Every structure is written in structure tokens, then in C-alpha cells.
Structure 1
Amino acid sequence: MRLTQRRPARPLSVLATIGALFLTGCGTQSGTPGGETGSASGSRTIRAQQFMQLTEVHDETGMTLLEGPVFGEDGGLYVVDVTAPEGRPKVMRVDVRRKTSRSVHTDGRGAYTSAQFSPYDGRLHLSDFAHGEIVSLAPGGGDPRTVFSGDVDGEPMNPDDIAFDPRGNLYVSDSRGLSEGTARGRVVRIDRKSGEATVLADDLAAPNGISFDPDYRGLWFSELTENRISYLRLDEAGAVTSRHTAIRVDGGIAQTDSIAVDADGNLYQGLHGRAAMAVFSPHGERLATVELPARAKGLESATNVAITPGGTRAYLTVSGPAGGYLYTFEALAEGTRQSNGG
């Protein structure tokens, strides 16, 4: 997630770690939301429209980065700002009807790169990339708890995105090795009852996006520095039965970021380094590209998306020197739990 600094940044303890994520990579016509045109590749171009600005570049960190949009049971859209300093909202709740936002959580330590609500206890879970932890909050904020911390198979984690299965077990994309440019990343399963961490896939090139398919039969994950999306077939116990590279993303200078999946199984692949999102069928066909209007300046990455549960209105997190924004468009199918791009 490469963000250009607008002004000199005063160093924070977390930026030495999280900076690697940004530097390595965690002309259209305007129209109505969901407006579409053709493209040279034959896929559709969907025109996203500005919904609201949530953040500005922070003086303390020299950047802002929105991530992890997720709808709560209360109808609110929860969004994290990865680089927010202490005292600024690190987790926000957006009222999409009123176009207002409020702070849900801040602290002096975390660098939160994703958010998901657990289907087991309803708590909001956050991945702290810089400190290798998963923490949780009460549904409306407050009552912070550490869900997981420590090494996995003797190696620390850099948890990026997260996903839950229906029983509340947690699946994490571990971007370990990103700062060194080495393929040491992993997909890790954390058992809800025991807290035991199991490596499902390893030797990965900075895994980032992670999401189940609609039937929870398999897990999609993207690798940032290889621009590819892979598929893990899982059994009922969450063990891997097969793995293969499913989609190679022609991103040019852009790289594969977070993933969300709609009710039809279509994949919404965020792009780091380009304010756009690629949409694929589960069979690998490029269905559409979500683009911003040409007038949108100073926005460099479209990291993630959440599709309204039971509806098709999608909210895209976009960031850059101009600040952090939500853009909206009409998705190809309805939103479900997996349509929140954890």
C-alpha cells in the first residue's frame, strides 16, 4: 500500500515495521454510481462515485490509509485507518444513511490493517500488523482484548487480513517476509476454542487478501508481490485438501491487495498502487474493473470493499495524498458476510 507523503512525518514506533507494507505494496468519464462502459479487454468498467471523505493525511505519520470496511449488525460500516496516530480514530463507524462518522477506538500502539465481526461472539476483530496480534472490541467499541499473540511455528506473524468460518475459527493472511522481499508469508488458522494456530500454506509472497467462497468450501487469498490469487480447498475440520493458483492479475505497477466475495462467488480484488478494483468470476474470468472518475486526484490505492448485506451497494476504501475516502458503486451481486473485505 504505497502512499505518498504530503509533509515530513515525525516517526512513530509502529512506522518502522508498517512502512515496509506501504513501500513494497498493504482517464475515465464520470457518471452515476454503478454506471458502466465497455473496455478494450471486453470486461465492463464500473464508475465508482465519491461518497464521503473520512480522513486527511496525518501530520504525525505523513499519511492516511483506510482499510477493512465491514458492516456490523447495527447497520454501521466500520473502517480502520492503518496509520492513524494516538488520539485520532483508528476505528470509525460510518452511518451510510446520514453520511456521518464517529470514532470507535484509538490507542497508542496498534496498526490495524483489517476488521471483521466474529459470528460466534459478535465482537469486532482487528489485525495488528506491526505487533503480530489479533485484538477484539465490543460491538460498539471499547473493552479491548487480545485474542491472539505470539509466534506461530517459532516465527512471529505480520497479520494482514482476516476471515471467519461459520463456527468462529479465524483465518489470517500472514505477510511475514514482506519487508525483506522474501516468500515467507503464510495462511494461518486460529482455532476458536483452543487458540491453537495452524499453518495452512507457507512460502507465500506477502499474502494479503483472504476470503471464503459463498459455501465455505474453500478460501481465496492473494499474494501482493506475485499478483496472483490462489484457492485452498478445505475439509469440514478446516484442513487443506488441495491448493492451486487460480487467477493471475495483470496489474502493471499495481499489486493485489484485499479480497471480498459476493453472493454469486465473484471476487473483488483491491489494487495497491492504483485507485481501482478488479472483479473476477470464480472461474477466473475478468468481469469488470471498478474505476474512479477522472476528476479524482491524489488517490493512489483502492484497498478494500464492503457490499451491503442483502443489497448491491458497495463501499470502496480509497486513499492517497488527498486523504482517505469512501467511494460507492453497484456490485454484480448481493453482499454476504464474505463481502466484507477483511
Structure 2
Amino acid sequence: MRQHQTAQRVLQVTSPHEATGMTLLEGPTFDGQGRLHLVDVTAPAGAPKVMRIDLDTEEITPLVTEGNGAFTSAQWGPQDGRLYLTDYASGQIISVTAEGEDARTVFSGEVEGRAMHPDDLAFDEAGNMFVSDSSPTVYPDAAPTGRVVRIDAETSAATVLADNQPNPNGISLDRDGALWISQLDANRIDRLLLNQDRIAVTTGHTAIHVDGGPSQADSNAIDADGNIYQASHGIPRILVYGPDGTHRATIDIPAEHEGLESATNLAIRPGTQKAFVTVSGPAGGFIYRFDALAEGTRQSNGG
């Protein structure tokens, strides 16, 4: 039986910026102390681009404010405990300490002759990164040119695992060594099975067609039972699918909470069923919570 939940508002994090006219929260991820970190994609230089939130006290601490970067996701490195950030604007991936210091460029430059537009990322246990490289063109103006890219943990060498993708966004790696890719311009979720070394795709197919209506498939996450949580850009909701593609649950934002347009991303706190989602629109940027169907793991925690 399909579940239905209405998410509860936790707190407001941001208001629309005067310089950009909007705010867009993304990349929620928990550190080892249970503090939530997230990014504001549209924050101008001088405003908080990366923030830490104590959910008990609701204290918000700015961690990164400098530069013109547009950070679209955040994820903790499994080997070094640093926070990794994708910069859609510059095409770089950087890492910082838990306090937002000691910024290091992890990746920059072209991949097979073209600059990257990194959106979301996932790690394997060895620290190799899997990145959704968004298309520089927008459907239906041109053929799909998005890519899925692997960045080696030791060498930072980038390899294209899949190309001609219709604007890939969300990306999660499951326990079977498969990537689940949300295709923004196709409203679908693809499953790409990797080889044992996770350096190439062995098979791939469209696994789930998302009934998005006016919304588009944004970021995603996977819980301990393999359920896929699909965030939505255009309608603030989360759609949950079983690993067999069954639509298992819908999490809505209360209809009376006006001025909210997108539920872009979520994190299930590892070891618990407490899920938190970033919700944004003209009313501002907010955190909402709901009960996940199963416990969170590292793959449920940001990306």
C-alpha cells in the first residue's frame, strides 16, 4: 500500500537575496555530530554559501561566504572527513574542513574536451567520486549532452562513464554497485550497473519513469533497504520508489505553506529514519522533516 506523508517544517534558513532575487537550498548532509550542512546555490559573494545548522538549537552558522561559486551539492569524503562541494559555475569540485576552512581544488578543467557543469556527487568507500555533469543546453533546444563522470580518488583523473544524457542531476550509488541517475529533462531515473572495479558501466537502462507533471526530477537518495527518494524541482514533494520501481510513498509539503516551488534534495540521518529535505521558493529557503521508510546510510547523506 502506498504511503502518504505531509512533511513538517523545521525552520527557515534563508530569504531571497536582493542581489540574485532568489534563494535555493541544496545538498543537505549530516556530519558525525548530527549537525546538518547545506548550500545556497544562488547566494552572492559575501552571503552564506555553505551553512551548518544545529537542529536542536536551530543555530545557523555560515561556513563559506567568499567567491562567486554556485555550489549545488555537498557530501562528506569517506576517507578524509572533508566536505566536498560541486561548483556548477566554475566547473570545479572543492573540499573544505568541517569549519569551512582550508579550501582545496579537487578537480578543475575539461573532461574529454569539454568543461564540466558538476551538479551532484556520490562517493564509493575508496573515495572515488561519481558526478552528474549537467547539460549546457536545455531541452528541447538540442540533443542531450549531459554526462556521468568518475573522478579517481588517488589521481583526480576524470573518466566519462555515460554521455548523451538528458541533463543528469541526482546520483546515488547502491550496495550492488549501481548508480541511480535522475534525468532532469526526461523525468526518469536510470540505473547504471558498474563493473567490480567501478571504473566502467556494464549495463544500463531506464528503471523508473517519474510522473512529474510540471515538476522535474532533481536530486535523489537511497536508504538501507534500497528505496529511492526522488526530489522534485517545480513541485515541493518527494516521491519514493522501491528498488523494483514500485511507487511506495509520496511526501508533500503542506499546501497552506505558500511560496515554495521546489524540494531539491534530502538527507536521511545515517542510522535513523529521520529525513530532512531542502525546500525553496519566493517565500525563502526552509528545512522540512519526514519519516523515511528505512534507516539512512552514507548514500542517504547528501550528494
- Normalising by the smaller structure, the TM-score range is over 0.9
Q: Distance in 2 between matches of 1:53 and 1:260?
A: 22
Contact 1:52 1:326 in 2 (8 A): yes
Q: Structure 2 matches for 1:3-82, cutoff 5 A?
A: 43-82=2-41
Match of 1:262 among 217, 223, 247: 223
Which residue of structure 1 lines up, in the alignment, with residue 169 of structure 2? Answer: 208
Cα RMSD for the two superposed structures? 1.1
After TM superposition, where is structure 1 displaced by more than 3 Å over at least 4 residues in a row?
Answer: 178-182
CA positional deviation for 1:181: 4.9
Which whole-Å deviations, capped at 9, do the CAs of 1:59-109 have from their partners, x for residues lacking one? Answer: 000000000001112321101000001111100001112122110111122
Q: Distance in 2 between matches of 1:62 and 1:130?
A: 17
2:185 alignment partner, SS class: coil
Q: Distance in 2 between matches of 1:107 and 1:182?
A: 36
Contact 1:165 1:216 in 2 (8 A): no
Q: Distance in 2 between matches of 1:182 and 1:46?
A: 37
Which whole-Å deviations, capped at 9, do the CAs of 1:106-161 have from their partners, x for residues lacking one? Answer: 11221000000110111100000011110110122111111000000001110000
Gaps in structure 2 of 5+ consecutive residues = none
1:338 alignment partner, SS class: helix
2:114 alignment partner, SS class: coil
1:86 alignment partner, SS class: coil
Q: Structure 2 matches for 1:192-207, cutoff 5 A?
A: 192-207=153-168
Task: Look up the equivalent residue of 1:292 and give its one-letter code.
Answer: I
Which residue of structure 2 lines up, in the alignment, with residue 35 of structure 1? Answer: none
Q: Distance in 2 between matches of 1:106 and 1:243?
A: 39
Q: Distance in 2 between matches of 1:169 and 1:247?
A: 26
CA positional deviation for 1:340: 1.9
Q: Distance in 2 between matches of 1:53 and 1:200?
A: 38
2:249 alignment partner, SS class: strand
Match of 1:286 among 216, 225, 247: 247
Q: Structure 2 matches for 1:131-142, cutoff 5 A?
A: 131-142=90-101
Structure number with higher strand proportion: 2
Contact 1:138 1:144 in 2 (8 A): yes
Q: Distance in 2 between matches of 1:232 and 1:88?
A: 38
CA positional deviation for 1:178: 3.6
1:318 alignment partner, SS class: strand
2:110 alignment partner, SS class: coil
Q: Structure 2 matches for 1:111-130, cutoff 5 A?
A: 111-130=70-89
Which residue of structure 1 lines up, in the alignment, with residue 273 of structure 2? Answer: 312
2:299 alignment partner, SS class: helix
What percentage of aligned pairs have identical amino acids?
A: 55
Which residue of structure 1 lines up, in the alignment, with residue 60 of structure 2? Answer: 101
Q: Distance in 1 between matches of 2:222 and 2:53?
A: 21
Match of 1:226 among 183, 186, 197: 186
Contact 1:178 1:205 in 2 (8 A): no
Which residue of structure 1 lines up, in the alignment, with residue 288 of structure 2? Answer: 327
Q: Distance in 2 between matches of 1:166 and 1:216?
A: 13
Q: Distance in 2 between matches of 1:224 and 1:267?
A: 15
Task: Look up the equivalent residue of 2:47 and give its one-letter code.
Answer: R
Which whole-Å deviations, capped at 9, do the CAs of 1:164-216 have from their partners, x for residues lacking one? Answer: 00000011000023445540000000001111100001000100000011x15
Which residue of structure 1 lines up, in the alignment, with residue 124 of structure 2? Answer: 165
1:92 alignment partner, SS class: strand
Which residue of structure 2 lines up, in the alignment, with residue 217 of structure 1? Answer: 177
Q: Distance in 1 between matches of 2:51 and 2:98?
A: 12
Q: How many residues align?
A: 300
Contact 1:222 1:259 in 2 (8 A): yes
Match of 2:256 among 283, 290, 295: 295
Q: Distance in 2 between matches of 1:72 and 1:182?
A: 39
Which whole-Å deviations, capped at 9, do the CAs of 1:47-70 have from their partners, x for residues lacking one? Answer: 101100000000000000000001
Which residue of structure 2 lines up, in the alignment, with residue 13 of structure 1? Answer: none
Match of 1:237 among 197, 203, 214: 197
Which residue of structure 2 lines up, in the alignment, with residue 144 of structure 1? Answer: 103
Task: Tell me the TM-score normalised to structure 1 length.
Answer: 0.86
Q: Distance in 2 between matches of 1:220 and 1:107?
A: 33
CA positional deviation for 1:240: 1.2
Which residue of structure 2 lines up, in the alignment, with residue 8 of structure 1? Answer: none
Task: Tell me the TM-score normalised to structure 2 length.
Answer: 0.97
2:115 alignment partner, SS class: coil
CA positional deviation for 1:236: 2.3
2:126 alignment partner, SS class: coil
2:43 pairs with 1:84: yes
Task: Look up the equivalent residue of 2:63 and give its one-letter code.
Answer: V
Contact 1:308 1:335 in 2 (8 A): yes
Which whole-Å deviations, capped at 9, do the CAs of 1:5-26 have from their partners, x for residues lacking one? Answer: xxxxxxxxxxxxxxxxxxxxxx
